[in-house]
Chain A
């Protein structure tokens, strides 16, 4: 089955620690996206990538980093510079053209110990 796989489902971070969230897709989509979801805030775009080896900052990129070395993979690192990392993180992919819907993974819930 084609889809997007996010792992782990739950993740805990200690103060001062970097953590990496995995996102893999087998839909052959060109574009991939990371969103942060907080209660009552909707989805906010962190980073997006429209092609391998290229990515752009979204609305709330501070304290996060990404890489896009393979078409299928778009990992997100939450760095120690992100002071309020507790949230639900969603990865999505699409064909990257206007009007194309995004397909979402099931999310990773990050909490601070």
Chain B
């Protein structure tokens, strides 16, 4: 069975500092991987996804994530965070023959002034 582990429930970081949100998954078959962002009292928005090809994927607002098959990880990084990045971030996985997505429990990113 698939599962997703987000190792940190909360991550505090100073504004303009770099951040890494960790995500590990388990699956016996090939997977697709996603990061979603949720702002307060809103639904989830797709941040970026890995389907195939280059293992480094980027979003339009400066986030990037790297698929590491040997470590079964898909960590999310940003070199310099802004106060507007305050949100909860969810890592998710789906098998390559299934449309159902398994979500991690989320990591709340707190930006400190």
Is chain B's interface secondary structure helix, strand, loop, or mixed overall?
Answer: loop
A-side contacts of B45, CB under 8 Å: 104
In the complex, which residues 90-110 of chain B have their Cβ closer than 8 Å to any Cβ of chain A? Answer: 90, 94-101, 103-106
User: A98 contacts which of B9, B34, B97 (Cβ < 8 Å)?
Assistant: B97
B43 touches A107 (CB 8 A): yes
Q: A41-B105, A42-B90, A42-B106 are in contact. Are A101 and B99 (CB under 8 A)?
A: no
**B-facing mask of A12-46, CB < 8 A → 1, else 0?**
00000000000000000001010000001111010
A50 lies within 8 A of B44 (CB): no
Q: Is B78 an interface residue (CB 8 A)?
A: no
The interface residues of chain B lying within 8 Å CB-to-CB of A6 are 43
Question: Which of B41, B49, B96, B99 is close to A31, meaning CB atoms less than 8 Å apart?
Answer: B99
Given A42-B90, A42-B104, A101-B49, also A90-B44 (CB < 8 A): yes
Q: Is the CB of A43 within 8 A of B90?
A: yes
- We find that the number of chain A residues with CB closer than 8 angstroms to chain B is 27
- Chain A binding surface SS class: strand
Task: Indicate if the CB atoms of A107 and B99 lie closer than 8 Å.
Answer: no
CB distance from B106 to the nearest CB of A (A): 5
- Interfacial chain A residues near B94, Cβ < 8 Å: 98-99
Residues in A with CB closer than 8 Å to B99 are 31, 50, 94, 96-98, 100
Residue numbers of B with Cβ under 8 A of A are 9, 32, 34, 36, 41-46, 49, 51, 90, 94-101, 103-106
A to B CB contacts below 8 Å, 15 in the list: A40-B106, A42-B90, A42-B105, A45-B100, A48-B100, A94-B99, A98-B94, A98-B98, A98-B99, A99-B96, A101-B46, A104-B43, A105-B43, A106-B43, A109-B41
